[in-house]
Amino acid sequence: MTAGLKVVRAGLFDTLQDLGRTGFMALGMPTAGAMDRIGLCLANALAGNPANTAGLEIGVMGPDLLVEADSVRVALVGPLSPQLIDGPDAAPKPIESDRSHLLKRGQTLRVGMIDGSSTAYLAVAGGFELPSFMGSLSTYSRAGIGGFDGRKLAAGDVLPLARPSVPAINERKLAQPFDYGSGPVRVVWGPQDDYFSKAGRRTFVETEYRVSKEADRMGIRFEGAVIEHAKPVEKGGADIISDGIAPGAIQVPGAGLPIVLLADRQTVGGYPKIATVASVDLPRLGRLLPGQTVRFAAVSVEEAEALRRDQETRLQRAIAGFVVARPPGGIDLVRLYEENLIDGVVYDSP
């Protein structure tokens, strides 16, 4: 029997994602991939996987997963409150996120709701035994390709595991949650910022925008102050000859409200792009929920590159700083035996 994780109850929008399907945009193929690459990289590192191994991207609420393998090591990253159910009649027990766990056959992992973010991640040691499409396991659900049958998970699905069992070793956890940063979302002007008036560009960086309900893996429509185009809309001020769409491109159509394009974005578009989100802040956008607000701040290309390099350094430092995690609800005997618990003995003769 193939080792796997069976979806007992589906979450809201759970898909398999790696770091994306790169190199095919010229053929009209979007990259897809993780909305929050930092969360996926951390989950993979906790599970002992290469950074680009496909994991489960959890959207808002996660699934219940029954272990149909001798053992499996899972790593959860994100603001979750997961639970472990040992058997059909057992009560759920809370376990920690931002760490790895060794699960055994017959146990059910209840991933649960995400608190304060739209995405979280689950990785398994060794990854999932599924065929890639154009070199990637990322799900692009709009075209029904990649991942698990090109779609979000449903009750009854069984995710095949690459490993039927894993060894019992020390589990690991993040020493502290990763700092994604705060403050304005950094952007680089262009490539069509000249399609907007000075007043329009000032509006973009001086006002606050709210995430609308039209927010998904393709992009985020924002609500707020209207951004003025340089030419009237009726005279083509909101139209360009279609050109390529980079990750984080910010289109402003005729309505004058910004749309930030994300992982499942189209490859070309015909609206002018006032700015492009610096890659350092794309993971923050990938975690936003409807109703949350952001401001935008312009930086130079050189500043954006320096910010990304610093973030990558901090990510590697966080991975190098993993600490041993205690078993849920128990004492870590390995760590206990490593400690010098006795510093002297007094012998009292009879």
Any idea what the CATH number is for the domain that residue 236 is in?
Answer: 2.40.100.10
Q: Do 167 and 237 belong together in one domain?
A: no
Residue 342 is assigned to a structural domain of this protein = no
Shared domain check, 19 and 106? yes
List all residues 6 or more positions away from 141 whose beta carbon is below 8 Å from its beta carbon.
15, 147, 150, 151, 152, 217, 264
Q: How many structural domains are present in the chain? A: 2
pLDDT digits (tens, 9 = 90+) for 190-222: 999 999 999 999 999 999 999 999 999 999 999
pLDDT, residue 350, reads 52
Q: Which domain holds residue 300?
A: 185-308
Same domain, 21 and 81: yes
Under 8 Å CB-to-CB from 172, ≥6 apart: which residues?
46, 99, 100, 322, 323, 324, 325
| Confidence (pLDDT) at 289 | 95
Rounded Cα distance, 31 and 218, in Å: 11
Please tell me whether residues 56 and 92 are part of one structural domain: yes
Q: Is residue 348's pLDDT more than 70? A: no
As a whole number, mean pLDDT of residues 149-175 equals: 96
202 and 304 in a single domain? The answer is yes
At residue 254, the 3 state secondary structure works out as coil
Task: Verify that 16 and 141 share a domain, yes or no.
Answer: yes
Question: In this structure, is residue 256 part of a structural domain?
Answer: yes
79 with 142, same domain: the answer is yes
What pLDDT is stored for residue 334 in this prediction? Answer: 45
Q: Are residues 249 and 156 in the same domain?
A: no
Q: Please tell me whether residues 138 and 274 are part of one structural domain.
A: no
Distance of alpha carbon 52 from alpha carbon 37, whole angstroms: 9
Window from 34-43, 114-123, 186-195, 227-236 with minimum mean pLDDT = 227-236
Q: Which residues, listed in sequence order, are joined to residue 173 by a DSSP beta bridge?
A: 99, 323
Residue 238: pLDDT band by 50, 70, 90 thresholds?
confident
Task: Indicate if 157 and 302 belong to the same structural domain.
Answer: no
Q: Do both 163 and 47 map to the same domain?
A: yes
In a domain, 350, yes or no: no
Does 340 have pLDDT greater than 90? no
Which pLDDT does position 237 carry in this prediction?
77
